[in-house]
Amino acid sequence: MGRVEGKVVVVTGGAGGIGAACARQLLHEGARVVVADVAHRAGRDLAEELGDRARFAELDVTVEESWERALAETEAAFGPVTTLVNNAGINHRCGIEDVTLVDYQRVVDVNQVGVFLGMRAVLPTMRRAGSGSIVNVSSVDGIVAHPLLHAYVASKWAVRGMTKSVAQEVGPEGVRVNSVHPGPIDTPMTAGREGPLAMARGLPLRRMGEPREVADVVVFLASDASSYCTAAEFVVDGGYVSL
């Protein structure tokens, strides 16, 4: 029996990178999985490749009605959602005096407001069921910081804090909420960028991580093996935050 047999999981940003790796691993471990993303071509292709226990739902995490539609589609296909992986995220590198308000707010909208809207949308179902697991993908930039990433860092610190607050609120009803903090991972977000490569060379493990190495931790948090874990930070960073 797979480690997440019987779970119904929505993975935001599931069409590529870490999200796609999560969708694959969760499916492999027995879950039914909804790949939820704005990237409909890649998302649909992945869901088709994964087969009958996978579906694509078009989701813009920043839009309330989009969450309602995606969760209704999930429930119609597989039943009530048991697990939400809030993984969708974007990055924007820019000096603090040069960044526009629009660019700053876009990062906060996707990375922070998207996580808030997702948790708010799934919690009534999880509370009714008396169980559930929410996994919020933050970053090592939700624990430390790098220059030129103020919007990203602000949004990822917010995710880490919000995770703990919501976990304290919903824990008595059987719902667990945790955050995952990847270091430099080889995905389209980091492709061709010198910063993550240079960071990886200085790590205790001396390399970038693979998306499936983050997905393995997400599977653990989605599974009942993590039944006593909540309000916690799970770092997957090759040793970065120890430096």
Footprint of ligand NAI on this chain (CB under 6 A)?
A: 12-13, 15-19, 37-39, 59-62, 87-90, 110, 137, 139, 182, 184-185, 187-190, 196
| Integer Cα distance of 162 and 170 in angstroms | 12
Q: Where are the beta strands (DSSP E) in the chain?
A: 8-12, 32-37, 54-58, 83-86, 132-137, 175-182, 233-236
Q: Is 104 a catalytic residue?
A: no
Determine contact, residues 18/211, Cβ cutoff 8 Å: yes
Closest to ligand NAI by CB, 8 or 35: 35
Per annotation, catalytic residue among 104, 152, 228, 240: 152
Closest to ligand NAI by CB, 66 or 226: 66
Instruction: Give the three-state DSSP class for 68.
Output: helix
In angstroms, give the least distance from the CB of 228 to ligand NAI.
25
Question: What letters, b where the CB count within 10 A reaches 16 and e where it falls short, cover 55-72?
Answer: bbbebbbbbeebbeebbe
- The DSSP output letter for 145 is -
Question: Mutual orientation of helices 40-50 and 17-28 as an angle, nearest 10°?
Answer: 20
In angstroms, give the least distance from the CB of 61 to ligand NAI.
4
Closest to ligand NAI by CB, 126 or 218: 218
In angstroms, give the least distance from the CB of 113 to ligand NAI.
10
Closest to ligand NAI by CB, 4 or 15: 15
In angstroms, give the least distance from the CB of 172 to ligand NAI.
28
Positions annotated as catalytic residues are 152
